[in-house]
Amino acid sequence: MNLIKPKNLNKGDTIAIIAPSGEVNIEKIKSAVQYFENKGYKVKLGANLSKCRNYLAGSDNERAEDLNNAFADKDVNAIVCARGGYGAIRLIDKIDFDIIKNNPKIFCGYSDITALSAMILKKTGLITYSGPMAQSDFSDNDINSFTEEKFFETLSSDLLEIEPDNLKIYHTGEAEGILFGGNLATIASLCGLDFIPDEKFIFFAEDICEPVYKIDRYFTQLLNIEKFKNNLTGIVLGDFWETDNKIWLEEFLQKVSKKLDIPVYGGYPISHDKRKTTIPVGVQAKISNNGVISLKY
User: For the segment 187-246, what is each residue's pLDDT rounded down to a tens digit?
Assistant: 999 999 999 999 999 999 999 999 999 999 999 999 999 999 999 999 999 999 999 999
Strand order in the sheet with 264-266: 159-162, 293-296, 284-287, 175-183, 201-208, 232-241, 264-266, 168-171
What pLDDT does 297 receive? Answer: 76
> What percentage of residues in the chain have a pLDDT greater than 90?
96
Whether pLDDT at 29 is above 90: yes
pLDDT of residue 263: 97
Query: Exposure string (b/e) for 141-178, b if CB count within 10 Å is 16 or more?
Result: eebbeebeebbeebbeeeebebebbeeebbbeeebebb
pLDDT for the residue 141: 83
**What is the pLDDT averaged over residues 144-161?**
93
Which stretches does DSSP call E strand in the chain?
Answer: 14-18, 42-45, 78-81, 106-108, 128-130, 159-162, 168-171, 175-183, 201-208, 232-241, 264-266, 279-281, 284-287, 293-296
Contact between 103 and 126 under an 8 Å Cβ cutoff? The reply is no
pLDDT value at position 139? 96
- Per-residue pLDDT at 296: 80
116-136 confidence digits (pLDDT tens): 999 999 999 999 999 999 999
Average pLDDT, the chain: 97
* Strands 232-241 and 264-266, bridge-based pairing: parallel
Distance CA 280, CA 212 (A): 27
Average pLDDT over residues 268-288: 97
Rounded distance between C-alpha atoms, residue 246 and residue 48, angstroms: 41
Enter the pTM of the model.
Answer: 0.97
Residue 46: CB atoms within 10 Å: 26
Under the banding of pLDDT at 50, 70 and 90, the label for residue 24 is very high
pLDDT at 1 over 80: no
- Which domains are seen in the chain, by residue range? 14-157 (3.40.50.10740), 160-296 (3.50.30.60)
List the catalytic residues.
Answer: 111, 206, 272
Whole-number Å distance between alpha carbons of 12 and 96: 27
Asked if residues 253 and 264 have their Cβ atoms less than 8 Å apart, the reply is yes
Within 10 A of 40 (CB to CB), how many other CB atoms are there? 10
247 pLDDT tier (thresholds 50, 70, 90): very high
Q: How is residue 112 annotated by DSSP? A: G
Q: Is the pLDDT of residue 142 over 90?
A: no
